[in-house]
Amino acid sequence: MVKVSEFLKQHGKPSREVYLDHENSGWVPPEVVEAMLPYFNQRGYGHPSITNLPGWEAYEVVESTLEKVNKTINARGGELVITHNGTEANNLAIIGTALGSGRERRKIITSAIEHVSILFPARSLEEYGYRVVTIPVDKEGFVDPDMLSMLIDYETLMVSIQMVNHEIGTIQNIKTLVETVKDKDDRIIFHTDAVDAYGRIKIDVEELGVDLMTLSSHKIHGPRGVGVLYVREGVRLKPIMHGALSTQKMWPGVENIPAIAGFNKAIDLTFTNFDDNVKKMKMLRDMLMDGILNNVPEVLLNGPRGDKRAPDNVNISFLHVEGESITVELSLRGVYVSSGSACTSRVLEPSHVILAIGRRYEEAHGSILFKVSRYHNKEDIEYVLSQVPPAIERLRIISPLARESREAVKKVVEV
Ligand SMILES: Cc1ncc(COP(=O)(O)O)c(C=O)c1O
């Protein structure tokens, strides 16, 4: 196997680069990096649980960040738990609710297009007698409230449905789904994974009525290494990790203070001029989406259009080409995208999200996710649009999938 260092030498550094893989992890702006640096060795480098100056300075970062998160999601009561990423917060939401429930209720309802950090912990509970019911979605990724209502019964412990889908950008109507659940039984816990909603759509936990909600720093141009779980007052949750000192009673281990300081700055940057930022993302999203749909033959848009779609999300299936070969070809041209989700792409499995909206295996394999950001401009998108059509054309010439399809068409024509 070729070592990555060798591969990188061969790849070289493209003269122009546009990073569009903000789904999987992202570019951190200089202001965020600057906000982090003092916390390594100038201030707040202590443990936030300890009563000395560097410890108090560290705790101030935690306190101020939690205040900002509360403000941006309009959380007037309840608690925020800081974890070391969104995956941990989702695990705490699912497993912590099960442990906190006293095993009276054993049914967990989730959707077919959730992130794996929901699906896997939920499935892990099956071994302990819990039943996981996965609700299907329609061809744009929406959950039907009537179907959800039908699935709820006296055994239902919790429902976990994400606010915005990470791959196809579907914005669920969470308020309606929460009402559907609570109308049937207000003791059922409603969790929403809002990792891909935060910073893209307005979130008001009071208005939505959710009990638990997950956020992650690196999805808003903050650094990796900070997740947050919002826990409404009265929700019974038990810790799932135990051990080291932390100010977070639900999550052990010393907090990553430099990363939390960066997340704090990223919140400021994301929520200042929020409406203008969202408007800009939508304009860039539509420019990219229409540019590809109008200029590349045999493509399919995955997910809804317009206001039902996250402002940063473009997901397109390029028929007769492998997604992995597209990411490599575009990378050589300085355009960085992903195929399926990071969680599945390394094992070359088609995305469960794209399959769940009814696409065939070949269509799911050729799906590419582009995520625009407020830091992009029109010239970036023009550059991407100048690279995607020739990249796809080149791959289709050499692709065995395209050859098979051409041969099949030829046979039909001959008959
Ligand atoms: C919808 C969704 N939930 C959860 C996560 C996990 O967050 P993290 O990467 O911080 O662990 C991701 C990450 O890609 C995500 O897209």
Q: Are residues 47 and 80 in the same domain?
A: yes
> Of all protein residues, whose CA lies closest to atom 8 belonging to ligand 1?
86
User: What is the distance between the alpha carbons of residues 147 and 4, in angstroms, rounded to a whole number?
Assistant: 47
The reported pLDDT for the residue numbered 344 is: 47
With 0-12 CB in 10 A as exposed, 13-18 as middle and 19+ as buried, what is 233? exposed
User: What is the distance between the alpha carbons of residues 217 and 27, in angstroms, rounded to a whole number?
Assistant: 12
CB 23 within 8 A of CB 195: no
Boundary-marking domain end, from 209, 237, 271: 271
Stretch 363-374: mean pLDDT: 95
The reported pLDDT for the residue numbered 137 is: 98
Question: Which numbered atom of ligand 1 lies nearest the CA of 164?
Answer: 1
Q: Are residues 264 and 290 in the same domain?
A: no
pTM comes to 0.94
CB 191 within 8 A of CB 94: yes
Q: Are residues 336 and 243 in the same domain?
A: no
Q: Which residues line ligand 1 (CB under 6 A)?
A: 85-87, 90, 115, 117, 162, 166, 193, 195-196, 216, 218, 227
- Tens digit of each residue's pLDDT (9 = 90 or more) over 395-409: 999 877 666 766 665
User: What is the distance between the alpha carbons of residues 322 and 329, in angstroms, rounded to a whole number?
Assistant: 11
| CATH number for position 324 | 3.90.1150.10
pLDDT tier, 342 (very low <50, low <70, confident <90, very high otherwise): very low
State the distance from the centre of ligand 1 to the C-alpha of 115, rounded, in angstroms: 7
Boundary-marking domain end, from 241, 256, 271: 271
- Tens digit of each residue's pLDDT (9 = 90 or more) over 68-109: 999 999 998 889 999 999 999 999 999 999 999 987 899 999
Boundary-marking domain end, from 217, 238, 271: 271
Q: Are residues 330 and 219 in the same domain?
A: no
Which residues are annotated as catalytic? Answer: 343
Round the average pLDDT of the chain to a whole number and report it.
94
Question: Which numbered atom of ligand 1 lies nearest the CA of 216?
Answer: 10
Q: Are residues 196 and 315 in the same domain?
A: no
The reported pLDDT for the residue numbered 330 is: 98
User: What is the distance between the alpha carbons of residues 268 and 266, in angstroms, rounded to a whole number?
Assistant: 5
Q: Are residues 164 and 302 in the same domain?
A: no
Q: Are residues 212 and 293 in the same domain?
A: no
Number of domains in the chain: 2
> Of all protein residues, whose CA lies closest to atom 13 belonging to ligand 1?
24
Stretch 155-174: mean pLDDT: 98
State the distance from the centre of ligand 1 to the C-alpha of 216, rounded, in angstroms: 7
User: What is the distance between the alpha carbons of residues 334 and 343, in angstroms, rounded to a whole number?
Assistant: 22
CB 397 within 8 A of CB 349: no
pLDDT tier, 345 (very low <50, low <70, confident <90, very high otherwise): very low
Residue 322 has pLDDT above 80, yes or no: yes
Q: Are residues 12 and 109 in the same domain?
A: no
Stretch 112-122: mean pLDDT: 98
State the distance from the centre of ligand 1 to the C-alpha of 29, rounded, in angstroms: 20
State the distance from the centre of ligand 1 to the C-alpha of 120, rounded, in angstroms: 13
Q: Are residues 297 and 207 in the same domain?
A: no
Q: Are residues 306 and 249 in the same domain?
A: no
Q: Are residues 298 and 322 in the same domain?
A: yes
Domain containing 237 equals 37-271
The reported pLDDT for the residue numbered 348 is: 64
| CATH number for position 171 | 3.40.640.10
Q: Are residues 179 and 215 in the same domain?
A: yes
